[in-house]
Amino acid sequence: MASGHTPRKLSPGRRGKPVSSPSQQVVRLGFGFAVSQALRVVIELGIPDLLASGGHSVEDLAAAAKVDAEPLYRVMRLLAPEGVFTEIRPRHFGLTEVGAALRSDRPGPRDFIRMINSEAYLAFEQLLHSVRTGKPAFDKVFGSPRFDWLSAHPEQAALFQRAMVALSQGGNEAVADAYDFGRYTRVVDVGGGHGQLLSAILARNPHLSGVLFDLPSGVAAARQGAGGDLPRTDFVAGDFFEGVSVGDIYVIKRVIHDWDDERAELILRRCREAMPTHGRVLVAETLVPPGDEPDQIKTLDVVMLAVTGGLERTEAQYARLFAGAGLKLERVIGTRAPISILEASPA
């Protein structure tokens, strides 16, 4: 060529756009925080709700949200290639199926996105501290452990509870459907929060009575019906590190992953101490798969490292936890959701 320049290779199906180099791919990964915070901004401004009826100009959206149009345009332009919005014509946006998941009138992850991009996001800036020490960065940034901090900040605690409800969508029903509770009489939901899982179990098993065991804030939310109807249920506020209520089957869903091995083992040991010899402990968690394929649970595992000091685990790691608590892993039961039930009996 007369110019002497070497033409850049084009990727198939993306005419005129160069193939990303390894450096460019790394830079894109490094800008992940921008997309994350942009999602939070459009949720807080209610943009997905404003687009529910159809496309609008960014000027109309900005007027309704009481913000400046030009910065809003730049944020929405960032999210459009990520599939959240589509720019149907210059400076006019429509809502995609992905973006519709952020509407306030639909069940979805909006509260989880808001929660993870607030104090948890600030803690993550100190991830290196967690890698160096094995301790949660959250404690360093905020001066207290995550759950102690939430206890002192009721508004953020309420958002956390709503975020957990959003994250659990479909999982509670999947767990309740996957296990046969027929031979048991009293189920204790340890750290049950709003009571969604317990509500699903009791609805499917009218012979069961239940115990919703959690911190006072979780019990209060469950009493108000935030997680559904809870007939035949005792509401017990307590500390599962100190002891749990008596029952013959214990369910612990997405609780063990919040804690390091020592404290996770202690929770399981408290269940072992309270249960009869024929009792069972059901731990419902997402297992970390082997290999280097992408999986959301691997991302969540590093979030746990920085925020709570907990971790996501493999089946072998859970088996060791059970053994340390005087329990034996009997089987792993898959569900239709990305969560498994690990059933343990007294050793």
Angle, helices 32-45 vs 69-79, to 10°: value is 120
Which tokens hold the place of 301?
A: 């595992």
Please, are residues 120 and 303 in contact by the beta-carbon 8 Å criterion? Answer: yes
Q: What is the DSSP string of 39-67?
A: HHHHHHHTHHHHTTTS-EEHHHHHHHHTS
Q: Exactly one of 5, 194, 257, 278 is catalytic; which is it?
A: 257
From its phi and psi, is residue 320 left (phi > 0), alpha (psi between -120 and 50) or beta? alpha
Q: Is 153 a catalytic residue?
A: no
Distance CA(327)–CA(309), nearest Å, equals: 23
Which tokens hold the place of 223?
A: 């009493």
Distance CA(83)–CA(35), nearest Å, equals: 11
Q: What is the DSSP string of 80-123?
A: GGGTSEEEEETTEEEE-HHHHTT-TTS-SSHHHHHHHTTHHHHH
Q: First-to-last CA distance in the chain? A: 76
Q: What is the DSSP string of 281-300?
A: EEEEEPPPPSSS---HHHHH
**Looking at the annotation, which residues are catalytic?**
257
